[in-house]
């Protein structure tokens, strides 16, 4: 554990962070952490505050964002379960080309149940649309769909009614 004197914040190594999250979730309590990286863009962004709930309170399923210890990188990772396979799940980041592979239930720490950005709760990507996101991610189409959406909004924005544009930009916040 290191304490930054200029920011008055405590930083943990990856192993310490996994131990703290595991201990908290084992007790049946949820925990919060700040997301780092861009592997889950656009649904989870760097700096978002994630609430991780234990598997006993929130069941894992296809489309759910999970916190797990990645065997390949030996570190805490937050990615989406895109397919159930045997005694585990194929897990992949929304903004990644390749899946992380088959992750056993033993390596899954918890499920992301809440995402906060700029002190506002983000709902898109955690509801029933997660099934479509998982399907698109499994096929490798998700980055293209997202880029197409941005292209359409920029180039045909004047043809989309103002209320719809406002909903897409503000409510969904993609």
Summarised one tens digit per residue, pLDDT across range 101-155 is 899 988 899 999 999 999 999 876 777 778 888 888 887 777 666 665 555 555 5
Domain region containing 49: 2-140
Is residue 170 assigned to a domain? no
Model confidence at 35, in pLDDT bands (50, 70, 90)? very high
Summarised one tens digit per residue, pLDDT across range 45-100 is 899 999 999 987 668 889 899 999 876 667 889 999 999 998 899 999 988 888 88
Is residue 157 assigned to a domain? no
Is residue 172 assigned to a domain? no
Q: For residue 56, count other CB atoms closer than 10 A to its CB.
A: 10
**Burial (0-12, 13-18, 19+ Cβ within 10 Å), 138:** middle
In this prediction, residue 106 carries a pLDDT of 87
Which CATH number does the domain housing residue 15 bear?
Answer: 2.10.109.10
Across the range 155-163, mean pLDDT stands at 54
Summarised one tens digit per residue, pLDDT across range 3-32 is 455 556 667 777 888 888 889 998 999 999
Q: Rg of the Cα trace of the chain?
A: 17
Is residue 154 assigned to a domain? no
| Alpha helices for 44-141 (secondary structure H) | 130-139
Is residue 80 assigned to a domain? yes
Number of domains the chain is built from:
1
Is residue 147 assigned to a domain? no
More confident residue, 172 or 34: 34
Is residue 52 assigned to a domain? yes
Is residue 151 assigned to a domain? no
């Amino acid at each position: 554990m290191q304490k930054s004197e200029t920011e008055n914040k405590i930083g943990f190594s990856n192993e310490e962070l996994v131990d703290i999250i595991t201990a908290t979730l084992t007790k049946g309590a949820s925990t919060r952490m700040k997301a780092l990286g861009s592997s889950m863009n656009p649904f989870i962004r760097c700096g978002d505050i994630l609430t991780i709930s234990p598997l006993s309170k929130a069941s894992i399923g296809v489309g759910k964002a999970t916190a797990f210890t990645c065997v390949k990188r030996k570190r805490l990772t937050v990615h989406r379960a895109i397919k159930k396979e045997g005694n585990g799940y194929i897990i992949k980041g929304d903004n990644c080309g390749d899946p992380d592979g088959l992750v056993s239930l033993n390596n899954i720490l918890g499920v992301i149940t809440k995402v906060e950005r700029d002190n506002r709760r983000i709902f898109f990507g955690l509801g029933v649309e997660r099934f479509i996101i998982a399907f698109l991610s499994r096929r490798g189409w998700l980055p293209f769909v997202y880029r197409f959406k941005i292209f359409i909004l920029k180039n045909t924005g004047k043809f989309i009614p103002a209320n719809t544009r406002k909903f897409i930009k503000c409510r969904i916040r993609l």
